[in-house]
Structure 1
Amino acid sequence: MKRICIIIGILTSLYIVRGQVGIDPRDYKFGEIPTTTEAEDQQFKDYQSATLKDCHLLYYNITKTEIELWELYHFAHKIYTQEGLEKFNSITYRNTDIKSFKNFGARIIRNNEVIKEYNLSHLTKVVNEEEDEDETTASYELKFTDLAIGDIIEYFRIGIRPRINESETYFLQEYVPCKNIDYTIVLPDQFKPHLQLYNADYPVLDTIISDKGLRYTTIHIPSLPVIPNEPLAHPSKYLARVEYILAYNYGSGSQRVNTTKGFVNGFYESSKLNDSDLIKVVKKHIIKRLKLNKKDPLEQKLRTIETMLKNELYGINGITQLRIYRYVLDHFKINYEVVLTTNKTKKTFDKNFNGTNFNEEVLLYFPEIDQYIAPEYYALRLGLTPAVLIGNEGLFLKKAKIGKTELFTYYYSTISVPKKERTKDNIVLSLDFSSDLKTLYGKIKREMSGYMVSFLQTNYDFFEVEDKEQLVDELMTLSSDGSLISDEKFTNTSPQDVGVNPFIGEGSISNSSWVKMEGDDIIILVGEMIGKQSKIESEKPRVLPVERNYLSSYKRSISIKLPQGYKVDDIDQYQVEVYDNDDPKKAKAVFTAHFKVENDVLKVESIEYYDQLYHDVEAFPLIARVVNSAAEFNELKVRLVKK
């Protein structure tokens, strides 16, 4: 019986897939009404909505005179909550050339019956003065009226893309239940694409319809589990997606096209600055102004070059920036490698994919010092690789010369991760009691570095007065409404300080909410002095591995002069030590807080750090325990009693 069910399931799947074979977007209509079972409704009811159909089709229409890329999107969503109702009360197409739309249809389904239908004429132009639109594009929307929870919205759009794509990434799901998912590419049968499915295990079917001379390459997925949006994770990279690239043109031969090797062979020249007019500009306005001493350390030379180029090239497209960087580095005979990779929060770099789909981000690597420059990231500098790239693998391109021919050779490696000491947040508080014992006052100094403040340091000079006042509130008050800050000053506030000098805020502080009286006892809210900490809530079992954006460390040094005649009540009860490992020396996540009294001064030192980007899902409870111990410390109160 089990074998029969399996065979029926396979045949059903193949039947559904064959339903995609033969689709022609030039003559497309709605099919059967999408439905859900009672069991599915029970399963989906806690989500805003569920996707009942997700169909994406690319149709390369090749005639004797032109090539057009027709595209079909067909969705159906069932609404389960008020939030879902608000999300789907309209459909909007932004920056769209309405002339590229060849067909559009929408309908509302209630109790398995169509109650309203719409077509292309129902799309209305949105007037938005702030939107950057050219003469040919605008935004269009369709607003639904009288939509109710339980309704199904189904709509499709067929249009012609303005550019012919030979590769793309397409995500097959969102963070809701999904079923009936189809991805199809239609090509003349002399062409063959390579499709690779990630985060799901379903076959890619290749079908040729001989009488039409067309090849249909299709993936059908009956349903997908929901990927939870969990903390300390990058859920997008676990969504099912397709990577597509045009792989063969049998009309020109049987050799594979659009390969990694082919790309590398051509990239040396395509990323080289060959524009004679632009070369003159670079020589005159950049190279001539760069004052580099041959005896300066490599890191100093690179910081000088990067500072100028980040200012001069801001807003210029990425490939032009890379060409200019390469030209300048070559001029000064600085050894470098070009690194191509992808945003790790969206997808993990796959070195086994033979194509260019993962070559989305560009870095310059300097092997002598094991550091990177990210030309397109203005707020980051040498030594601070974009957090979305660190720890990911990449394609490393190394300059070589064969005879008189210059070219790139390539290898794969992992982009190094800056140490936790590069991104730190240290606070020093020195406090004393007012004469009436109702207020703590003193000095505060906060030093922050790395990823936490790179944006502040690169943009501080552009801040308005209101922005700087907000900065005081966010960084110096320690998230306490009772904190009053005066005589504040900030240092190391320029782009040249990024990754070199910590951003420092200093000032005088007073706070009456940190002190409470209980009879003759004084209660000090020491836990609030480390700043507000976030707690990880986990009502359901963890699904995704733990992934941090970057390594970091935090230190709080608090000194409070005890009022005369008072002492700390049982200081040992306040000590905290939490690790993610039974052996503290091997711990990668730590929160500790140590208390002592010296010369009538209560001294508190808390240390928190995270020294590993990735942890298996099984390690989540240990990491959460460290994070939550810091949050729970916010509630800690120290009791002073009379001697």
Structure 2
Amino acid sequence: MRTFLSTLLLIFISFSASAQLYKSHNWVEDQEFYELTAAEQEESSIAIMEKYLIQYYQPVLKKSFRLFETKHSIIRINTDKGIKNHNRVYIPMRNVKQVIDIKARVTQSNGEVNYLDKNNIKELENVKNAGGYKIFAIEGVTTNSQLEIIYTLENNTINLGSVVVQKDYPVKEAIVIIRKPRVLKYRVKGYNGFPSMQTEKVAGKKEALTATINNIDGMTDEKSASPTANRMKVSYQVAMGIPSDAVMWARLEANIKTNYIDIRPRRHHALINDYKTFVETKSKDNSAEIINNICEYITTTYNVVRTPSKELFQLKHIFAQKQATERGIIRLYTCLLNSESIDYEFVLTSDRFKHKFDATFFSQSNLQTPLLFFKDENKYVEPEDINARLNFPPTETIGNQGLFISANGRRFSRIETPNVEDNVIQRDYSISVDPENLVTMVNCNQINTGYRATSARGAYKYLKTKDINQFKSFTAANGIEDAEFLTFNVENERLSLAANNTPIRFDYSYEAESLIDEVNEDIMLNFGKVVGTQNELYQESERVNPIELNSLITYKYTFSIPIPEGYEAKGLDDIVIHKTVDIKNEIACQFISNYTISNNVITINAIESYDRLTMPLDYYDTYKDVVNAAYDFSKKSILFKKI
């Protein structure tokens, strides 16, 4: 998702900076081929140096400032994985006014050097809605080679920024330099171990802020974690005057009110009349229904354009063209909400997997996700979602703080995490075995609530007219390739039912031969396979990140399995599993399964739940045991032995 602040009007006044550091920065012509220790050679790649030069520069006799960014990297490539990670270079072009220079070379251990052919530099437009990129590859990137890259960009002059110094690979030395005229003030804040920056006066009424960090471990991309948010980085503010955080938040509040909240519907008659015609026959008995009517009108009538457009920010053009920018679509919502006198708060927060919202330091990283909050319903609308309805907040925002702005003021508040009971998958199975034809019949009643209901509704809406078989397989028989569906019914599929967390229901039946293995005269029923493909956690290296989950969730499974006539069941004790993680005498997560036999019918009950959004690193091993217990359960079988 795009950073919301980057599309707002500038909150600070434009400013401007003095002698160009980047012009004096270059590589050494006869660069040494760095020696590595035995441990460093075990890494797929390792940065000898990563240097970041950020310079605010003021040309002579000019009032405005210019902003230059130089990046200089020297990286040793040790393995094929290292080659794959570094042989193609992407340089983001968002906010770039011009490219000053790009140069790169590869040095071999024998001294041979290959230089970048600048004719090979290509341009990609709007990659994954993140803006354009310069992309290039250079020849000679092999194992035991050394890659060096320097590029300088002139960026649009902004006064907020961040530098992430921790990479996926180790960095022996990282250097961050912010150079500016002394007339410009600054604030910096480091995260995740970034050290204090030192200030040094420089000739010409300039000063440089510098930090050098040695031996930064590579960040491991681990499951059930937020490695991007946990990377070492520094955020900075540079301006003619640095207001307090309270003043900066107040300016943002004023901007949001002016551009979004204070929209007067009576100025947009055509839009309001079109909306009223759309909802004329729809129920409007309460505010939740009205909010969902607005959502349905917008998501079915307008398209979101993922590229900047001043025109498609204006409501009259949005209405005429039936499309809007990401910012423009929010204005549609607030205009229609105002027309219906619905109270709401405009929320700005961050993706917690990328950055933890920090109310004590105003930065772009805080402002990645806009939401609309409705206090009376205690629910949210995500305006940029193509299936937006009144619902729980997006999973990437829960547990994070946010800035809540209304017509009456602003507040900081945590975005509540839905309870574990609100996000459930429950499946009641009846599984019968046909020993003669070696086929299994599976019947299931399934309900999804919470986030799992929302994702199922969205998938059903999309796939029911494109490939309903794909939806059936994914929902009911994931991992069972030979499943032949006999019935499949869906109830409560309407997107608006999320407002009250009404479960979506699935009733289905299918036959499958792959659930049975013949063992001489005996039969092995692979009953655990029907729950679908499960995650398995393994850790080849020491765990780095604490545990952070996508959401709280409960899975409930019940199996009713008649024992075929002429057979007896064996190996049932292996079904009994009891794995829990307790933190401060409360269950943090669990997997528990057991069985009973009555009237020749085996009944198996299993519950898997994750009751805490985050857990300290110390609990990883026991958390892993719970996850792997669920995986093991999906492999469980019952042996029906011929009597």
TM-score range, shorter chain: 0.7 to 0.9
Task: State the Cα distance separating 1:606 from its structure 2 match.
Answer: 1.6
**Hey, what's the Cα distance between the residues in 2 that align with 1:359 and 1:365?**
16
Task: State the Cα distance separating 1:389 from its structure 2 match.
Answer: 0.4
SS in 2 for 1:296: coil
1:309 aligns with 2:305: no
Q: Which amino acid aligns with 2:526?
A: L
1:17 equivalent in structure 2? none
1:240 aligns with 2:238: no
Task: State the Cα distance separating 1:344 from its structure 2 match.
Answer: 0.2
**Hey, what's the Cα distance between the residues in 2 that align with 1:207 and 1:257?**
28
1:30 equivalent in structure 2? 27
Counting only pairs closer than 5 Å after superposition, residues 118-267 of structure 1 correspond to structure 2 as: 118=116, 122-124=118-120, 126=122, 141-161=135-155, 163-209=156-202, 211-249=203-241, 259-267=248-256
2:438–2:516 CA contact under 8 A, matched in 1: yes
1:393 equivalent in structure 2? 401
**Hey, what's the Cα distance between the residues in 2 that align with 1:219 and 1:445?**
60
Counting only pairs closer than 5 Å after superposition, residues 357-506 of structure 1 correspond to structure 2 as: 357-400=365-408, 408=409, 410-434=410-434, 436=436, 438-458=438-458, 460-463=460-463, 467-498=467-498, 500-506=501-507
SS in 1 for 2:407: strand
Structure 1 residues 202 and 268: CA distance shift in structure 2, 3 A: same
Structure 1 residues 71 and 289: CA distance shift in structure 2, 3 A: same
From 40, 47, 54, the equivalent of 1:44 is 40
Structure 1 residues 547 and 140: CA distance shift in structure 2, 3 A: closer
Structure 1 residues 204 and 24: CA distance shift in structure 2, 3 A: same
2:347–2:371 CA contact under 8 A, matched in 1: yes
Provide Cα deviations, 1:282-310, integer angstroms capped at 9, x if missing partner.
32222564459998333333222222233
1:78–1:151 CA contact under 8 A, matched in 2: yes
Structure 1 residues 378 and 472: CA distance shift in structure 2, 3 A: same
1:62 aligns with 2:63: no
Q: Which amino acid aligns with 1:427?
A: R
1:260–1:356 CA contact under 8 A, matched in 2: no
SS in 2 for 1:581: strand
Q: Which amino acid aligns with 1:296?
A: D
Using the size of structure 2 for normalisation, the TM-score is: 0.84
Task: State the Cα distance separating 1:268 from its structure 2 match.
Answer: 2.0
**Hey, what's the Cα distance between the residues in 1 that align with 2:44 and 2:385?**
36
Q: Which amino acid aligns with 1:538?
A: Q
Counting only pairs closer than 5 Å after superposition, residues 8-19 of structure 1 correspond to structure 2 as: none
Using the size of structure 1 for normalisation, the TM-score is: 0.84
Q: Which amino acid aligns with 2:68?
A: W
Q: Which amino acid aligns with 1:510?
A: E
**Hey, what's the Cα distance between the residues in 1 that align with 2:498 and 2:186?**
45
Provide Cα deviations, 1:69-110, integer angstroms capped at 9, x if missing partner.
222121121101012123333434476999922222222222
**Hey, what's the Cα distance between the residues in 1 that align with 2:598 and 2:200?**
80
Q: Which amino acid aligns with 2:49?
A: K
2:311 equivalent in structure 1? none
Structure 1 residues 257 and 25: CA distance shift in structure 2, 3 A: farther
The alignment yields a C-alpha RMSD, in angstroms, of 3.3
**Hey, what's the Cα distance between the residues in 1 that align with 2:603 and 2:40?**
53
Structure 1 residues 498 and 259: CA distance shift in structure 2, 3 A: same
1:330 equivalent in structure 2? 338
**Hey, what's the Cα distance between the residues in 1 that align with 2:26 and 2:267?**
52
Structure 1 residues 57 and 112: CA distance shift in structure 2, 3 A: farther
1:89 equivalent in structure 2? 87
SS in 1 for 2:222: coil
Provide Cα deviations, 1:321-367, integer angstroms capped at 9, x if missing partner.
33333333233222222222111001111121145541222122222
Structure 1 residues 127 and 141: CA distance shift in structure 2, 3 A: closer
2:11 equivalent in structure 1? none
1:607 aligns with 2:601: no
Task: State the Cα distance separating 1:152 from its structure 2 match.
Answer: 0.8
Structure 1 residues 324 and 97: CA distance shift in structure 2, 3 A: closer
Q: Once structures 1 and 2 are overlaid, which stretch shifts more, 341-350 or 258-267?
A: 258-267
Task: State the Cα distance separating 1:519 from its structure 2 match.
Answer: 4.6
Structure 1 residues 323 and 622: CA distance shift in structure 2, 3 A: same
Give unmatched runs, 5+ long, in structure 1: 1-20, 401-407
Task: State the Cα distance separating 1:236 from its structure 2 match.
Answer: 0.7
2:12 equivalent in structure 1? none
